[in-house]
Amino acid sequence: MAFNSIEYAILFLTAFSLFWLLHNRPKTRMLVLLVASYIFYASWVPKYLLLIILSSTVDYLTGGAIYKTDKNWQRKILLSVSIIINLGILAIFKYFNFFAVEFSNLMGTFGMEVTPWHLKFLLPVGISFYTFQSLSYTIDIYKKQLEPAKYYYQYLLFVSFFPQLVAGPIVRAKTLLPQFLLKPRLSADRGSAAIFLIATGLVKKVVIADYLGAHLVDPVFSNPAMYSSVEALMGAYAYAFQIYADFSAYSDIAIGSAALLGFEIPINFNAPYTASNLRDFWQRWHISLSTWLRDYLYIPMGGSKKGSIRTYINLALTMVIGGLWHGASLTFLFWGAIHGAALIATRFIQRHKITSKIPVKIQKALGVFLTFNVVTAAWVFFRAPDFNVAKELFKTIGKFDMSTVNLSTPALLILLGALIIHWTPQKFITFTRQTFSKLPSFIQAILVLAAIIAASRLASAQVAPFIYFQF
């Protein structure tokens, strides 16, 4: 049940209507959202609903037990139970087959033939997202930064809250849990801003992400050798904007949907391709994941407080694990390694002030150009099904064949439009949203309908799933 489907619209409108009818009854309105969330998740593979209930129950019980005891050994055991069960489920469903194959390949290098044992099941949608979200609850209680959920069903809802369940943002318990107990409020301005966010998210998904994917990215990555250098390069750039438009569209719709229900979810993107270095990029891209990795992995490993060499090791490990979080593939690991190496280089340059003699404006322009191209090069490994395809694409780019016969004008215009929109100043975007909010309701409805109709003309016959559903 994708956000850009009729089924989701029906589910959301039903939940929205019941929620506000029962807004004065906190327990009942939470149960309405919980049922809607479980229906939403079960729409993919119903039996996997048991996994999210199991994970939620384990963390609810261990979190409460951690809070009640002051004995460090008991607290550590309880936290370990939470971590082992959560990561164990994630490892079995997402990584077992990957490591089985790699172990078989490793044994093959020593002349030993080992047939990998495969587990035959589909990857549960959003398992990486809700696992990290639930884990942060028990860790924060262990660190004495959070009190446990008041009600069991309140915690079940926190883990499964359907607007951001399958692709984030990864919301911390201290941000969302208390909101479930507060009386929800929805002003006209806030409702208009939410609708604006949802509408722009749908347009980004259909007009930019899906169109670039179908008409430029997918053809180039399916067989890079068939295209010229310019066409292959445009395919790589198009994927950079496809994945941004696709993922940020999901976040926009999630944040807007939650806002219509009276809840605030933090932003997940902030014009990442305007970043002047890789550190800046990760403060703008998938913010909920980057801050999670920082707070629960990088800092506990020592962060930057144990010398330069240890800092570089911590950066590399954090990003490699971040790559593995995205998928069970060597290409994802390599993608993470590229970002780890780039972050190390960024930290080295900043600490040694290597660019201090370069004028600030030139530093900024050069930094943005290099950062975007490093990120795009890394995206090639993220998108390519294997290293051979990635290698072929870079080889094609290196041929310096300038033919553009396979580049369609509409695809290039949309790519250019995506670039312009991305670089549009935030002040203008805020002004546009505020202007929309001040318009009469019937004018807002006409504009939203017009945007949907325009987007539908560019939409493919089959609804394209969001890219991050696979993680």
Give catalytic residues, as residue numbers.
Answer: 326
Which residue, chain included where needed, has tokens 């144990």? 306
DSSP character string of 31-84: HHHHHHHHHHHHTT-GGGHHHHHHHHHHHHHHHHHHHH---HHHHHHHHHHHHH
Q: Are 181 and 26 in contact (CB under 8 A)?
A: yes
How big is the CA angle at 273 (ends 267 and 275), to the nearest 5 degrees?
85
**Residues 6 or more apart whose Cβ sits within 8 Å of residue 13:** none
Q: How far apart are CA 212 and CA 413, in angstroms?
A: 10
Between 188-203 and 426-438, two packed helices, what is the crossing angle to 10 degrees? 120
Q: How far apart are CA 380 and CA 375, in angstroms?
A: 9
Terminal Cα-to-Cα distance of the chain (whole angstroms):
16
- For 128, counting Cβ atoms within 10 Å of its Cβ (0-12 exposed, 13-18 middle, 19+ buried), the class is buried
What are the distances in angstroms from CA 338 to CA 137, 140, 375? 30, 30, 9
Q: How far apart are CA 127 and CA 310, in angstroms?
A: 31
Residue 341 CA to its chain's centroid (Å): 21
